[in-house]
A and B are shown apart, each in its own frame.
Chain A
Amino acid sequence: MAEGQPASKELAIIRVNVEWCKGCEICVAFCPKDVLEMEGGKVTVARLEECTKCMLCELRCPDFAITVE
């Protein structure tokens, strides 16, 4: 779960529950790899291939709206 973990070969599966996302941007701001972006006031996955599955977005999402597998 630490920042800077080596990238896994398999692409992550990032799920966003847009009904629950309130657009606080915490996940976007603290993603170490800039994987996420805002679109229409909700988070969206912009660069999935950069995801290292560090899980920090899932950890800090106050709305239970983003998960990483």
Chain B
Amino acid sequence: MFDYLTYVREGNFPHIWCSGCGHGIVLKSFIRAIDKLGIHRDEAVMVSGIGCSSRTAGYVDINTLHTTHGRAIAFATGVKFANPKLHVIVVTGDGDATAIGGNHYIHAARRNIDLTVLIYNNYIYGMTGGQVSPTTPRGARASTSPFGNIEPPFNISGLASAAGASFVARGDVYHAQKLEKLITQAIQKKGFSVVEVLSPCPTAYGRRNRMASPVTLMEWLRDNCIPVKKYEKMSEEERSGKIRTGVLIDIEKPEFTEEYRKLVDSMQVRG
């Protein structure tokens, strides 16, 4: 048994997430990760925006900051800049991070500031009634695309890689032990680190897309999330409809707060 309760604000439970929502599994994976890393709650700050995913900050008993829609990364940048010793973790969703917060997302990646960003990707705006999001797959139904979405989706991980993030991974809530490892690696990494987590929304997405049952959504993740090494060995045909999971990018590059510190130090030497 893992003692999750020492890391949560028990008075706020049961949480608001719907039956079968994967977000609780992400929270648990995060808790196990910080426990294994031995990070004291005073050394960690969780910053969230708006949406179902962002409610995570209300449940975990570390320093938390629940901010405005799309701006979690901007607030987190301020926190990290003020005290670079802190582990700053952003929890956000596909809508929060890649629609209204898309600009913050790509520019934080470009700067390579040492933040860990957990993006709960459920392909939909769950909290506000199932509107189409930037990651809703083509053909999928949402309340605002009742006949099927005609827009191609953003690739959240690809976006971070292209913008310059030093660590990018993708996990899912069915493979929860692997998810914990990816979150652990992301927290340890110095630089902008993203973990895109596929976390199903039975209520707003599943019901409209013939996957109303949480179990069906979990089976879908089990069958379609393929580890990077296995994916690389698959033919183009076999890859169709499959999702690559694991560490996608892990590179070394100068980190923003350290570069800033160096600049300040060089100015002080000059007097």
Interface set of A (CB-CB < 8 Å, partner B): 1, 19-20, 22-26, 29-30, 55, 58-65, 67-69
Give which listed residue, A20, A29, A68, contacts B1 with CB less than 8 A. Answer: A68
- Is there an interface contact between A59 and B176, defined as CB atoms closer than 8 Å? yes
Q: What sequence of 0s and 1s flags, for each residue 15-41 of chain B, a beta carbon within 8 Å of any chain A beta carbon?
A: 101111111110010000000000000
Between A and B, 6 residue pairs with Cβ closer than 8 Å are A20-B14, A24-B214, A26-B218, A30-B218, A63-B15, A64-B24
Residues of B within 8 A of A62 (CB): 17, 20-25, 28, 173
A63 to B5, CA, bound (A): 12
- Is there an interface contact between B20 and A60, defined as CB atoms closer than 8 Å? no
B13 CB within 8 Å of chain A: yes
The answer to whether A61 and B24 touch (CB under 8 A), given A24-B19, A67-B1, is yes
B4 CB within 8 Å of chain A: yes
Residues of A within 8 A of B24 (CB): 61-64
B215 CB within 8 Å of chain A: yes
Residues of B within 8 A of A19 (CB): 14
B8 CB within 8 Å of chain A: yes
- Is there an interface contact between A64 and B13, defined as CB atoms closer than 8 Å? yes
Q: Is the interface of A mostly helix, strand, loop or mixed?
A: loop
Give which listed residue, B15, B18, B28, B218, contacts A29 with CB less than 8 A. Answer: B218
B2 CB within 8 Å of chain A: yes
Give which listed residue, B1, B22, B28, contacts A69 with CB less than 8 A. Answer: B1
B177 CB within 8 Å of chain A: yes
Closest Cβ neighbor of B23 among chain A residues: A62
The smallest beta-carbon distance between A31 and chain B, in angstroms, is: 12
Q: How many A-B residue pairs have CB under 8 A?
A: 66
The smallest beta-carbon distance between B5 and chain A, in angstroms, is: 8
Residues of A within 8 A of B205 (CB): none
Interface set of B (CB-CB < 8 Å, partner A): 1-2, 4-5, 8, 13-15, 17-25, 28, 173-174, 176-177, 202, 213-215, 218-219
Give which listed residue, B4, B15, B214, contacts A26 with CB less than 8 A. Answer: B214
Residues of A within 8 A of B173 (CB): 60, 62
User: Which has the most chain B C-beta neighbours within 10 Å: A24, A59, A62?
Assistant: A62
- Is there an interface contact between B19 and A23, defined as CB atoms closer than 8 Å? yes
The answer to whether A64 and B214 touch (CB under 8 A), given A22-B20, A26-B20, A59-B176, is no
Residues of A within 8 A of B4 (CB): 64
A68 to B2, CA, bound (A): 9
A58 to B32, CA, bound (A): 12
A32 to B23, CA, bound (A): 23
Give which listed residue, B5, B18, B23, contacts A22 with CB less than 8 A. Answer: B18
- Is there an interface contact between A60 and B176, defined as CB atoms closer than 8 Å? yes
Extra inter-chain contacts (11) besides given A61-B25, A61-B28, CB under 8 Å: A1-B177, A22-B19, A24-B215, A26-B215, A58-B1, A59-B25, A60-B174, A60-B218, A62-B28, A64-B24, A65-B14
Closest Cβ neighbor of A2 among chain B residues: B177
The 6 closest A-B pairs by CB, nearest first: A62-B24, A24-B20, A22-B19, A29-B215, A24-B214, A20-B14
Residues of A within 8 A of B20 (CB): 22, 24-26, 62
